[in-house]
Amino acid sequence: MLGAAFLMATSAVGPGFLTQTTVFTKQLLASFGFVILLSVILDIFAQLNIWRILTISGLRGQDAANLTVPGSGYVLATLIAAGGLVFNIGNIAGCGLALNALFGLPVEAGAALSAVLAIGLFLVKQAGQAMDMFVKILGLLMIALIFYVVFASGPPILEAAYRTVLPEQIDARAIVTLVGGTVGGYITFAGAHRLIDAGITGAAAMPEVNRSAMTGILLTALIRALLFLASFGVISMGLVIDDANPPASVFQNAAGGVGIRLFGIVMWAAAITSVVGAAFTSVSFVKTFHRSLLENSNALIVWFIIASTAIFLLVGRPVSVLIWAGTINGFILPFGLALILMASRNSNVVKDYVHPRVLQLAGWFVVAVMLIFSVQTLYSLV
């Protein structure tokens, strides 16, 4: 249960998460707290719906969708896998940036070395247990180090709290990107698919499923809030955040030479756990379509990581990739969540389970809000 919670949280807290939080704090200042608050509320509604419906049925997202709207599961799987690939390119980039900050390695070499480590995790005999332990240890390490940077930067907490409730400005793209980067695309399904793989399904597991989902959401919210406060503290001191590597600039301004080393550790922990989460969940969306895919799922994960790394080495531009990854996944969320909400009313999927009406309505609220913000964002980009 805890492994699933950390898998979801660390899948969300990737290098894109660090970059997005810093970039939007620089743009919106204290008002970014409102974006975080709204994203947490939307996260709760989206996660509880998807985790409960899938684990009660024992079906992964694509299979539940296909039983509800024939063929829709293939579309969802394609969108999730494509979005996961884009996200993973950013994750691999983050690994390279982190090892560059830590050891001075060329970004490309650091990315390739990290990819080899992630691949090794899926080649061990008990890959699932190894993945659970890996993401838990690195997740706790991230929280501790970011907390130290918040303390070092000394942010004006009262102003941040005030603008979290009464913002001066609201940015639709920031909301779409944050929600997309936290529960968009593959991230929403990561924990639920991990529980299904572990055989934790059915009505008897619901209390534990709820706790696991809430734990993952709160872990993500805690890290996002701490990083926001660290960035806001640096800006409030009048220091400049470098657009070439925004989160590294925050850590360095807050804690000097030690800060850049801390950034390297946090960035690498965030990136490598997200590489693992993105690869695992993206492949979980296609492996049920054929027996041979299911039997060779770990090999597919390895090739997914190799493809992500190869594309990054050819394309480059890590910071731009990290911002766009969250935005793209934000567009996928309303489609995927709508299909799962429809599945909750399908007896072929959930049998005699009755999904709570409050969660159903909250889920459709998230679909509507994210659809509106996604359209606004798309219109502004065009």
The full DSSP string for 159-184 is HHHHHHHS-S---HHHHHHHHHHHHT
How confident is the model over 162-172, as a mean pLDDT? Answer: 81
| Confidence (pLDDT) at 330 | 64
Residue 186: other Cβ atoms inside 10 A: 30
Is the backbone of residue 183 left (phi > 0), alpha (psi -120 to 50) or beta? alpha
Q: Which pLDDT score is estimated for 341?
A: 92
Is the pLDDT at 381 greater than 60? The verdict is: no
AA identity, residue 80: I
Mean pLDDT of 58-75: 89
Which residues, 6 or more positions from 4, have their beta carbon under 8 angstroms from its beta carbon? 132, 190, 191, 192, 194, 195, 198, 200, 212, 216
Confidence of residue 204 (pLDDT cuts 50, 70, 90): confident
CATH of domain 2-381: 1.20.1740.10
**What does DSSP assign to residue 239?**
P
- 14-23, 40-49, 218-227, range with the lowest pLDDT: 14-23
Q: How confident is the model at residue 156 (pLDDT cuts 50, 70, 90)?
A: confident
pLDDT the model gives residue 364: 92
Confidence of residue 171 (pLDDT cuts 50, 70, 90): confident
pLDDT score for 232: 82
The mean predicted confidence, pLDDT, of the chain is 80
Q: Residue 282 is encoded by which pair of tokens?
A: 């993206």
Residue 380 has pLDDT above 70, yes or no: no
DSSP structure class, residue 104: -
Question: How remote is the C-alpha of 271 from its chain's centroid?
Answer: 11
Handedness of CA 352, 363, 45, 62 (dihedral sign): positive
pLDDT value of residue 343: 92
